[in-house]
Structure 1
Amino acid sequence: MSRSKNVAVWLIWLAVFPTTLAYLYIAIEPNFSGYWLDLLAFAIVVSAVAAFPIQVGSITIFFINGVSFAVFLYFGLFAEIIITQLALVALFIKIRLKKSEFHRIATNSTMLLLTSIFAAVVYYALGGTHGVLSLSTLDEIIPLVGYVVGSIVVNQFLLTIIDVYVKGNKFTAVPKSLFIDSLTTAMITPIGIILYILYLEIGIPGILIVSFPAILLSVVISTYHKGRRVNTYLHETSEIGHELSKKLNVKDVLDTFIARVEKLIPMSYIYVYDITNSTQSMHLIRYVDSEGKEKVDEMSLSYGEGFAGEIYKKQKASIILKRNQIRSIPGIELPEQVHSVIGVPILRNNNVVGVLVIASKQVRAYEKYHLMLLEILGNFLSVAIENARHYQSEKNKSQRDRLTGLYNYRYFTEHLEGYALDLMEKGLEEKLSVILFDLDSFKKLNDTYGHEAGNEVLVELARRLEDYLGDRGIVARYGGEEFTVLIKDIEHEEAIKLAEDIRFMIAKDPFVVYEHMIEGEDSVKVYVTASIGVATYPDHCESPEELIRQADRSMYVGAKRSGKNRVASAAVAM
């Protein structure tokens, strides 16, 4: 809630609550002489009932209607207002109201006050009275019904105002709270009537007799609802596990995990650490805050350092709900605003391979079931990351050249064919160019310096090609000392110029090799040149599949046979 709304809510409360309460006291002149013990018993019961609320979405339900109804029937409006306000205090103490939610004291207090007054006005307008009632005639039953219906109507009206104008939510003609309010009132009102009748008959013992089932009902419903909520979360957790298992790379796994966890567990910050057990160091591989911002700075922790480091060291999940305890952790890595934090180790084969931390700016933001959910999610995350890395490893083995790390010939040809087919199916016209080159006199280099030196040259060349081309083209090792580059959507003349740049880049700087056969030298500088052929579709062939053949032909006919260390175009070679 904005600061201006927060101030407005409290100003309304200060203007309405004390004044109205004082006016009612003067107007009604309540006299509770001889009944203070009775009212104390009612207050204890209503506070006990309020201590077991249930949460349905953003709606907090506490079953005090029955007790307050009985108090109203016998003692009147002023006593009922005091009792409901005491119940509200008990509720907020029980749920440990956060500082950011203090406005709820003002809104709920005002709402209960106005609901009590409006329902009482309806009751009095229909001829209702207080004290000893038989509740057996229409003259007494009709005011009761009016009181119940009136309280529901005004309560829903005030809830709508708060929801729309205070919380800024969209107006709903038939809100969910109407059904919940009506249902709970239908359940609790009979208990209130029974409480009233027993109180008339036997006094305080009647309050105690009815209070036990009333409190028990609150406990049962609250426990049942909490169990249902945990089961719902467990179901959602299972769905997250299934969704993660379908992701085939680590980035997608982490993106999906964080997007789903943000909706399941309250958070201001999420940290995912990867652990290198050989050095006992932790590296932050993903960080997101509640505004969706990702941390760009690298962050590392050592064994036992900070909150995450302690989890790594102890290999146990942890939850801390006090800011002073968080700040007392040596080397704490969490922001100053954090008031609650939970963290779990990510295990694989009983070894800690990562740490998952979720922190909140809210006080006491987490319960034990949040920790349980996070432990389950941590296991799912561990399996998903391992599967994604295994898949990526196997994929790299099938697509990458083991020596240079470049794409292999199989991937290059499959990608070219697939891309060309996609263009054809979409009816798009796009030029594709292949630059194919072969290192000149590479056999002589191997004979002079050894095959290990030749491999060093190939590895260094692969690095240079990737650094130079970046995302402008797809580089592959064609086989042996031959390499190919696929360039998309450029004219043939531009492709020739790029090939010339590659030829110059290879020839101008020597390759330094260390694993050579020259005695007495730690390293040797080797100069290498390349013969290059270029072909472009549709300029030089009728289908993209012919590109490699045309580029290969232009390289041998136009470059190799013409003196090497040069670029040849398929247009000339043809």
Structure 2
Amino acid sequence: MSDKKNISIWLIWLAIFPPSMIYLYFTIEPNFTGYWFDIIAFAIVMCAVAVFPIQVGSITIFFINGVSFAVFLYFGLFAEIILTQLALIALFIKIRLKKTEFYRIATNSTMLFLTSIFAAVVYYALGGTHGVLTLNTMDQIIPLVGYIIGSIAVNQILLALIDVYVKGNKFEGVPRSLLVDSGVTAMIFPIGLILYILYLQIGLAAILIVGFPAILLSVVISTHHKGRRINRYLHDTSNIGHELSKKLNVKDVLDTFVAKVHELIPMSYIYVYDITNSSRSMNMIRYVSDDESKQLEDISLEYGEGFAGMIYQDKSPHILVKRSQIDKISNLEIPDEVNSVVGVPILRNNLTVGVLVIASKRKHAYEKYHLMLLEILGNFLSVAIENARHYQSEKNKSQRDRLTGLYNYRYFTEHLESYALDLEEKESTEKLSVILFDLDSFKKLNDTYGHEAGNEVLIELAQRIEAFVGEQGLVARYGGEEFTVLIKGYSHEEAVMFAESIRSMISQESFNVKSHMLKQDEPIDLYVTASVGVATYPDHCESPDELIRQADRSMYVGAKRNGKNCVASAEQAI
């Protein structure tokens, strides 16, 4: 919230509440002589009820209306306002407002005050009085009904105004949370009426007889609501697990996990660490902050270092809800503004393979059930990452050449066929070119220096070609000492120039070979050349499927038979 809006809220409170209370005091001239113990007992009950609220949407509901109704009927408006404000203070002490939320004191105090005033105005307008009421005539019943309806109506209007003005939300009709608040309030008022009637009959004892069940009811409803909320969290957690199981690479797993956890649990920061058990070091592999402008450098921690390192060392979850607790950790990696942090180890086969940490700027932001949720989510994340890595490993085995790490012939042909089908369906005229090259006299190199030396050349060549081509095309090992490159959107003349650049790059720079059969122990430098063939669709074939055959033919007919170490176009082989 902006400082300007914050100041305006407090100015509104200062303009309304203190002057009005002074005016009411001198106008009503309340006198509670002989009833101070009763007033204090009502206040204790209201404060006790207030500390067990339930959260529905953005609204905090606490069940003081019944008790405050009884206070209003017997002692009047001034007493009801004072006790309601005391209950509000008890609520805010319980939920531990942070400094940035202090505006809620002013907004809620003003809202409850105005609700009391307008409900009382309706009550008085309908002829309502205070003290001992028989409640057996319509003259006394109608004001009661008017008070209840007025209180609910004004309260909902003010809540809607706060939601629009203070929170900046767009008004789109009455939200479910307001309806729930109205329903709960309507149910609580009869309890207040019973308390009032009993108070008339037996005095202070009525506060104990009705007040204790009212407190117990608040506890039961609050606990039930909290249980339902946890069940909903568990259901959402299960859905996250299902969602993660569908992801087939680690990046997607982490992206989905972080996004879903951010929706489920309130946080300012989330960290995911990966552990290399051989070195006992931790590397941060994912970090998200609610402040998108705040960038964080990669974090590396050692065993036992910082909050995450402590979790790694202890192999157990930790939850800290005050900054004084956090500051006791040495080599802390948590930002200074964090006041609550919770972390769990990510386990696999009883080994800690990672650490998950979430942090909040709020004090006491996390409870034990958050820890439970994170442990479940950590298990889901561990399984999902393992599955994604296994899938990627198996996929690489089927798609990648084991020696060079390039795509293999099978993947290259399947990719070409798939892309050709896509072009055909779109009736696209995009040009495709295949560059096929074969190392010259490679058998002689193997015979002279050994197959290990030949493998070194192939591995280094693959790295050079992949770096040279980059995002411009797809590189694959065609077989043996043959390689192929697929490029898209190039004219045939441009493709031939690109192939010439590859040929030149291969021939001009030597390959440093260590594993050779020569007697000398030092590495040797070898130079190799390549014969290159180029074919382009649709210039040289009617279908992209024929590209490899045309490029292969141009390489042998146009390059190998013409002295090697040159580039031949499919046009030369026709």
Structure 1: which amino acid aligns with 2:70? A
1:521 CA drift (Å): 3.0
Equivalent position of 2:492 in the other structure: 492
Work out the CA distance in 2 between the residues paired with 1:378 and 1:177.
Answer: 32
Equivalent position of 2:189 in the other structure: 189
Equivalent position of 1:121 in the other structure: 121
1:11 CA drift (Å): 1.0
Q: State the TM-score, normalized to the length of structure 2.
A: 0.99
Q: Is the contact made by 2:437 and 2:533 (CA closer than 8 Å) also made in structure 1?
A: yes
1:392 CA drift (Å): 0.1
Deviates more, 1:89-98 or 1:393-402: 89-98
Structure 1: which amino acid aligns with 2:365? A
Work out the CA distance in 2 between the residues paired with 1:115 and 1:233.
Answer: 34
1:324 CA drift (Å): 2.4
Q: Is the contact made by 1:287 and 1:294 (CA closer than 8 Å) also made in structure 2?
A: no
The 3-state SS of whatever aligns with 1:256 is: helix
Work out the CA distance in 1 between the residues paired with 2:296 and 2:421.
Answer: 39
Equivalent position of 2:390 in the other structure: 390
- 2:438 aligned with 1:438, yes or no? yes
1:297 CA drift (Å): 3.1
Equivalent position of 2:347 in the other structure: 347
Deviations 1:62-84 (A, max 9, x none): 00010000000000000000110
Equivalent position of 1:73 in the other structure: 73
Work out the CA distance in 2 between the residues paired with 1:297 and 1:211.
Answer: 56
1:309 CA drift (Å): 0.5
Equivalent position of 1:534 in the other structure: 534
Equivalent position of 2:208 in the other structure: 208
1:564 CA drift (Å): 0.3
Equivalent position of 1:249 in the other structure: 249
Deviations 1:254-291 (A, max 9, x none): 01001111111111111111000000000111111113
Work out the CA distance in 2 between the residues paired with 1:196 and 1:497.
Answer: 96
The within-5 A match list for 1:443-462 is 443-462=443-462
Q: Is the contact made by 1:338 and 1:360 (CA closer than 8 Å) also made in structure 2?
A: yes
Structure 1: which amino acid aligns with 2:175? P
Work out the CA distance in 2 between the residues paired with 1:419 and 1:162.
Answer: 56
Residues 82 and 44 of structure 1, relative CA distance in 2, 3 Å threshold? same
Q: Is the contact made by 1:126 and 1:146 (CA closer than 8 Å) also made in structure 2?
A: yes
Equivalent position of 2:550 in the other structure: 550
The 3-state SS of whatever aligns with 1:309 is: helix
Equivalent position of 2:236 in the other structure: 236
Work out the CA distance in 2 between the residues paired with 1:376 and 1:421.
Answer: 44
Equivalent position of 2:418 in the other structure: 418
Gaps of 5+ in 1: none
Deviations 1:90-117 (A, max 9, x none): 1111111222111110000011111101
Q: Is the contact made by 2:156 and 2:182 (CA closer than 8 Å) also made in structure 1?
A: no
Work out the CA distance in 1 between the residues paired with 2:485 and 2:69.
Answer: 83
Equivalent position of 2:112 in the other structure: 112
Equivalent position of 2:151 in the other structure: 151
Equivalent position of 2:408 in the other structure: 408
Q: Is the contact made by 1:288 and 1:295 (CA closer than 8 Å) also made in structure 2?
A: no
1:162 CA drift (Å): 0.9
- 2:172 aligned with 1:172, yes or no? yes
Deviations 1:304-354 (A, max 9, x none): 111100000001111111112212311111111111111110000000000
- 2:396 aligned with 1:399, yes or no? no
Equivalent position of 2:50 in the other structure: 50
The 3-state SS of whatever aligns with 1:336 is: coil
Structure 1: which amino acid aligns with 2:447? D
Q: State the TM-score, normalized to the length of structure 1.
A: 0.99
Structure 2: which amino acid aligns with 1:378? G
1:461 CA drift (Å): 0.2
Q: Is the contact made by 2:273 and 2:284 (CA closer than 8 Å) also made in structure 1?
A: yes
Q: Is the contact made by 1:156 and 1:177 (CA closer than 8 Å) also made in structure 2?
A: no
Gaps of 5+ in 2: none
The 3-state SS of whatever aligns with 1:434 is: strand
C-alpha RMSD over aligned residues: 1.0
Structure 1: which amino acid aligns with 2:514? Y
1:179 CA drift (Å): 1.4
Work out the CA distance in 2 between the residues paired with 1:374 and 1:55.
Answer: 21
Work out the CA distance in 2 between the residues paired with 1:567 and 1:143.
Answer: 100
1:294 CA drift (Å): 8.2
Residues 433 and 517 of structure 1, relative CA distance in 2, 3 Å threshold? same
The total of aligned residue pairs comes to 574
Deviations 1:371-414 (A, max 9, x none): 11111100000000000000000000000000000000000000
Equivalent position of 2:24 in the other structure: 24
Equivalent position of 2:516 in the other structure: 516
The 3-state SS of whatever aligns with 1:469 is: helix
Equivalent position of 2:466 in the other structure: 466
Equivalent position of 1:359 in the other structure: 359
Structure 2: which amino acid aligns with 1:252? D
1:181 CA drift (Å): 2.7
The 3-state SS of whatever aligns with 1:459 is: helix
Deviations 1:483-514 (A, max 9, x none): 00000111001100010000010000110111
Structure 2: which amino acid aligns with 1:260? K
Deviates more, 1:521-530 or 1:295-304: 295-304
Work out the CA distance in 1 between the residues paired with 2:251 and 2:181.
Answer: 45
Equivalent position of 1:93 in the other structure: 93
List 4+ stretches of structure 1 deviating above 4 A: 292-296
Q: Is the contact made by 2:148 and 2:186 (CA closer than 8 Å) also made in structure 1?
A: no
Structure 2: which amino acid aligns with 1:23? Y
Equivalent position of 2:569 in the other structure: 569
Structure 2: which amino acid aligns with 1:280? R
Work out the CA distance in 2 between the residues paired with 1:84 and 1:94.
Answer: 15
Work out the CA distance in 1 between the residues paired with 2:172 and 2:506.
Answer: 69
Work out the CA distance in 2 between the residues paired with 1:403 and 1:171.
Answer: 63
1:292 CA drift (Å): 4.3
Equivalent position of 1:304 in the other structure: 304
Work out the CA distance in 1 between the residues paired with 2:327 and 2:491.
Answer: 61
Residues 401 and 293 of structure 1, relative CA distance in 2, 3 Å threshold? farther
Q: Is the contact made by 1:534 and 1:567 (CA closer than 8 Å) also made in structure 2?
A: yes
Work out the CA distance in 2 between the residues paired with 1:268 and 1:161.
Answer: 28
1:182 CA drift (Å): 2.2
1:459 CA drift (Å): 0.1
Work out the CA distance in 1 between the residues paired with 2:420 and 2:40.
Answer: 84
Q: Is the contact made by 1:287 and 1:295 (CA closer than 8 Å) also made in structure 2?
A: no
Equivalent position of 2:379 in the other structure: 379
Work out the CA distance in 2 between the residues paired with 1:341 and 1:427.
Answer: 56
Work out the CA distance in 2 between the residues paired with 1:320 and 1:533.
Answer: 66
Equivalent position of 2:227 in the other structure: 227
